[in-house]
Amino acid sequence: MQATTTLSSTLTLASLLFMPLSALAAEPASGNVFTIGGGVGAATSYSGGDKIQALPVVILDYAMSNGFFASTTRGLGYGGQAGPFSYSAALGYRGERADHKRTGVNGMGGSNYLKGMGAVKGNASALLEMGYSPLPGLQLSVSSDIPLTQRDNGANLHLGASGQIYGRSDSKGQQQDTVSLSLQAGWGEKKYVQTMYGVTAVQAANTAFKRYTPKGGFYEAQASASWEHRIDARWSVNTLVGVTTLLGDAGKSPIVQRKTTPIGAVYATYRY
C-alpha cells in the first residue's frame, strides 16, 4: 500500500512501513481506535539518492467505527470493508523535494547533489485504495496518489501484494507474532516521472546534468519483510527491512546516484 502523508519526504520508506498499520485499521472495530507510535527509520534523502539517513517515525492514527479516519500515515478520509474487499478514499499531502541538504527533525527530502534543480513543490493529494484478500493472510492492493494542487507533479499508482508467512499465538489464542512478506510496483504517469526523475532545459542550464525527458511507466519495485510482535492487546513492536530499486527510464536518470537501496525501521505502537 502506498502511504503518502506528512512523512512523504520519505515516500519509499513510508509506502512499506505502514502496511501493517493500514491493514490493522481496515479490520472491523467495535469502537473508535486511536493508535500512537514512534521509532526510527532509515532511507535515502530522495528517490535515487545514495546516502542512507536516519529519520524519526511518528504515527498518529484515529480510526472511527463508522469508517472515518485521521492519520499521519493515511491522511484524512473514509474506508471500509465488504467481505474480502476493502476500500478507502482520503485527502493527503505529498511533501516537497528540496535541491539542498535539509537539517532538523524534518530534514529528509533533499540533497546538495540536486543543487540548481529547484524544489519540487508539495501538493495536496487524493489517495484512493482498493484491497482484496483471496485467502486468509494474503492481501492484494492497488492505490493511487492523484495531485489536487501542483498538478504538474503527476499521479502515480502502486500495485501491491503482502502475505503472512509465520504466525504465533499466546496461551489465550491471541496473535502474538506475525511475519509478513510484501512486494510492490510503482507506476507513474509521464508528468510524475518527469517531475521526479527528469531534467528540463532550464534545470540542465543551472546544473551539470544533461537534459533528460523520461517516459511514463513502471518506475519502482519494492520488497520487504516485517515482523510485528504484540506485547499485549494494546502494545506492539514492529521491525521492517526492505529494498527498493528504480526501473526503466527512472533508473537511467542522471540525477539517480544509486538505483537500488535498502530501507528499514523499528517502531512501537500503542492502541486504545
Of 2.70.50.60, 2.40.50.140, 3.20.20.70, 2.40.160.40, the CATH number of 8-271 is 2.40.160.40
Q: What's the pLDDT tens digit per position in 18-58?
A: 444 444 444 445 689 999 999 999 999 899 999 888 888 88
Looking at residues 184-211, what average pLDDT do you find? 97
129 and 143 Cβ atoms separated by less than 8 Å: yes
SS3 2: coil
**pTM summary value:** 0.88
Does residue 186 surpass a pLDDT of 70? yes
Q: What angle do CA 83, 89, 94 make, to 5 degrees?
A: 140
DSSP string, 28-82: --SS-EEEEEEEEEEEESSTT---EEEEEEEEEEEE-TTSEEEETTTEEEEEEEE
Instruction: Kindly list the domain boundaries of the chain, sorted by start residue.
Output: 8-271
Rounded mean pLDDT, 140-163: 97
Q: Per-residue confidence at 103, pLDDT binned at 50, 70, 90?
A: low
What pLDDT score was predicted for residue 27? 47
pLDDT score, position 70 = 96
The chain-wide mean pLDDT, for the chain, equals: 88
Q: 107: how many CB neighbours lie within 10 A of its CB?
A: 16
Q: Are 121 and 96 in contact (CB under 8 A)?
A: yes
pLDDT over 70 percentage in the chain: 86
Average pLDDT over residues 223-229: 95
pLDDT band of 109, cuts 50, 70, 90: low
Nearest to 197 by CA among 158, 160, 159, 156: 156
What percentage of the chain carries pLDDT values higher than 90?
75
